[in-house]
Each structure stands twice: as structure tokens, then as C-alpha cells.
Amino acid sequence: MLPSPNAQESKRESLQARIEHAVGRLKSLRDGDTGLLEVVDLGPDVVPALRRLLFEPEPSGLHQVRSLAAEALAAVGAFDVLADFLVSREPIADPVERLGEEVVIGAAARAIARLREEWVYRLLSVLATHRCITGVLAGLGSFHRKDSIEIFIRALSEDEVRLTAEAILRGFGRTARSALIAAALDRGNADRSESESHLRKRRSALGLLLEIGIPPKKWLVLRPLMEDSDRQIAFLACRFCFEFGSAQDLARSARRLIDLRTGADWLERERIDDLLKAIRSATSSD
């Protein structure tokens, strides 16, 4: 026996009331987490309401509610809605609104990355190439695909996402080593002075190589960096020299460190002095 039209209408009204109540709790700063559970319990029926919430601009820059909406959409399997959101984002001029929007984009990127499908990986790769946002990099990095390493290398030049890019590259370990060595050696356009952002990328790449480690034969490739015009890069190269250099290399490194000490601040001098002490101890014992 089919339900009567009145019963069907009553059921729809009841469902709509539950959706409105759950979404209302989701939008509450106090009950948002509880609202998330209630929303997810409603399943696909709640997708239209969540879509409206996710796509609704927020000029104040507040992002918590829309980020929860992105998480809920992933939990109910509405990955197509998240994809629509990510590909439809346009640059925002207002800095406050832009900051909030980027957090939401990051939340949506992390959420959609739960779906381990090729089209999701490709989508995040394109987004990460054109919009360097922490959450987008994190979502892409969760795939741990070797062909994305260059994207994270480029992100090392961006202050806002460098720590995230470093963490992801650190996770790749030795797989990222060749790309990091190439980044450390790349001085950019020889016809122009090196930009600060490019220098930061090279410093970061060298620092990661110190953590990951290099084969001894790769030291010969990095050895010229001891004479780099950037003080930090030269110092990092001297650290590699201490580990892999010959006696002649160590003597050259000591001279370079003495040069670097001139004009260094107290913290840099302390680090230089510690390395000089270690080099002198190693050479005297030989």
C-alpha cells in the first residue's frame, strides 16, 4: 500500500526540519562539531543545503562553518560538489575575505583528497600549480606521488606554505633528493640578481638535504656552494663539507667560515664558531 500524499508531504517536512536544525547547529560556533555529526547522519539528503553553505561568500573572512561544510560533504560522498567548488574559485581582492576563502579552499582540498582517484589527483595538481595554498598542497601531498615533487619544490619559495612543502618533501625522503639538489644549485636567471624568494627556496632545499642525507659522491656537486654569495647557503654547504669533504676541502671550508664570520650577527657567529671548532678538532686528530 502506497503512503498517502499527506503522509509523503509530512515526511518531507519532517526531513526538511531535521536538515534545517542540523545545518543550524553546524553554523553555530558553539555546536558546530555536534552539528557536523547530525548533518552527516542525514546522508545525501543534506547535500543541497551543504552546497549552498559552502558556496556562500563570507566577506568577514570567517571560515569555520564553510570548512565544516566541506568536511561534511566528503563524509556523505559528495566529492563532485567539492570539485565544483574548487574549480569555480576566482581571485578575491579584499585581503580579509581572501584569507578566509583560502582556508575554505584548503579544507575542501583536504576533504576531496580522501577519494583516492586519478581525477582528484589531477585536479589538485592543477590547483597547486596555480594557487599555492597550504590545504591544497597537503591534499596533493597525501597522494605521495613522485611526479608531484616539483610542485612542492616550487612551493619552497613561498613563505606562507614553505613549512607544509618542507614537511611533504621530508616525507618523500630519498625520492626527493635529486630534485632538492637541482633546486639548491639553481641560481635562476644569470642575467638578473637572485630574488629573496628564490634564495629561500635554495636554502630550504639545502636544509632538507642535510636532514635527508646525500651519498658521499654527491658532495662534489654541492661543493661549489661553499663560495655562494648567499651567506646562509655557503654556511650550509660548509656543513656538508664537514661530513664529506677531504682534508683540502675542510681547510677551504674553514677559510670560508672565517670570511662568513665577518658581518655575521651573534647567532650566526655562534653557529660558525661551533662548526669551525668541529672542523679544527677533526683536522687536528687526523
Per-residue pLDDT tens digits for 55-86: 988 877 778 889 999 999 999 999 999 999 99
The whole-angstrom separation of Cα 11 and Cα 76 is 21
| Cβ atoms of 221 and 183 closer than 8 Å | no
Summarize pLDDT for 126-162 with one digit per residue, the tens: 999 988 899 999 999 999 999 999 999 999 999 999 9
pTM passes above 0.95? no
Candidate from 12-16, 168-172, 196-200, 259-263 with smallest mean pLDDT: 12-16
- The helix (run of H) or strand (run of E) holding residue 9 is helix 5-26
- Mean predicted confidence (pLDDT) in 210-219: 94
| Cβ atoms of 206 and 228 closer than 8 Å | no
| Cβ atoms of 139 and 121 closer than 8 Å | no
- Mean predicted confidence (pLDDT) in 34-43: 85
Q: At what angle do helices 47-55 and 64-75 cross, to 10 degrees?
A: 150
Q: How confident is the model at residue 38 (pLDDT cuts 50, 70, 90)?
A: confident
69 closest CA partner among 130, 19, 136, 118: 19
Summarize pLDDT for 176-213 with one digit per residue, the tens: 999 999 999 998 776 578 899 999 999 999 999 999 99
The answer for residues whose C-beta is within 8 angstroms of residue 141's C-beta and 6 or more apart is: 148, 152, 164, 167, 168, 171
The whole-angstrom separation of Cα 225 and Cα 223 is 5
Q: What is the pLDDT of residue 23?
A: 83
Is 197 in a helix, a strand, or coil? helix
Residue 105 predicted with pLDDT over 60: yes
155 closest CA partner among 173, 171, 131, 174: 131
- Mean predicted confidence (pLDDT) in 252-262: 95
Q: What is the pLDDT of residue 10?
A: 57
The whole-angstrom separation of Cα 33 and Cα 53 is 16
Q: How confident is the model at residue 168 (pLDDT cuts 50, 70, 90)?
A: very high
The answer for residues whose C-beta is within 8 angstroms of residue 237's C-beta and 6 or more apart is: 206, 222, 223, 225, 226, 228
Q: What is the pLDDT of residue 8?
A: 52
User: In one letter, which amino acid is 26?
Assistant: L
- Mean predicted confidence (pLDDT) in 34-47: 87
Q: What are the Cα distances from residue 61, in Å, to 93, 108, 112?
A: 12, 16, 22
Q: What is the pLDDT of residue 285?
A: 61
User: Which ranges in 142-222 belong to alpha helices (H)?
Assistant: 149-155, 162-172, 177-185, 196-212, 219-222
| Cβ atoms of 124 and 109 closer than 8 Å | yes
Summarize pLDDT for 112-121 with one digit per residue, the tens: 999 999 999 9
Residue 208 CB: number of other CB atoms within 10 A? Answer: 23
